[in-house]
Amino acid sequence: MTVRIVVLAKQVPDPETPPSQFRIDESTNSVVPPNGVPPVVNGFDLNAVEAALLLRDGGADVEITVLSVGSEFVMDAMKKPLAMGADRLLLVDDIGLDKLDSAATVKVLAAAIEKDGPFDLILGGRQASDWDQGHVTLGLAEILGLPLVSLVQKLELNDDSISLQRVITDGYQVVSAPIPSVLTITNELGEPRYPNLRGIMQASRKKPDVFTLADLGLSSEDLTPKLELKKLYIPESNQQVELIEGEDEADSGRKLALRLREEKLI
Note whether 209 and 240 are same-domain residues: no
Note whether 83 and 209 are same-domain residues: yes
Predicted confidence at residue 207, as pLDDT, reads 96
Note whether 149 and 264 are same-domain residues: no
Closest CA to 117 of 222, 220, 211: 211
Note whether 217 and 243 are same-domain residues: no
What does each of the 266 residues of the chain score in pLDDT, given as a tens digit? 899 999 999 999 999 988 888 888 888 888 888 888 899 999 999 999 999 999 999 999 999 999 999 999 999 999 999 999 999 999 999 998 988 999 999 999 999 999 999 999 999 999 999 988 889 999 999 999 999 999 999 999 998 899 999 999 999 999 999 999 999 999 999 999 999 999 999 999 999 999 999 999 999 889 998 888 889 888 887 778 888 888 899 999 999 999 899 988 88
Note whether 46 and 111 are same-domain residues: yes
Residue 229 located in a structural domain:
no
Note whether 13 and 94 are same-domain residues: yes
Closest CA to 123 of 35, 5, 221: 5
Q: What is the DSSP string of 46-95?
A: HHHHHHHHHHHHTT--EEEEEEEEESS--HHHHTHHHHHT-SEEEEEE-T
Residue 23 located in a structural domain:
yes
Predicted confidence at residue 218, as pLDDT, reads 95
Residue 231 located in a structural domain:
no
Residue 180 located in a structural domain:
yes
Note whether 158 and 265 are same-domain residues: no
Note whether 157 and 249 are same-domain residues: no
CATH number at residue 215: 3.40.50.620
Note whether 22 and 44 are same-domain residues: yes
Note whether 138 and 261 are same-domain residues: no
Range of the domain at 254: 236-266
Note whether 204 and 258 are same-domain residues: no
Predicted confidence at residue 191, as pLDDT, reads 96
Predicted confidence at residue 80, as pLDDT, reads 97
Q: How many separate domains does the chain show? A: 2
Residue 143 located in a structural domain:
yes
Note whether 113 and 240 are same-domain residues: no
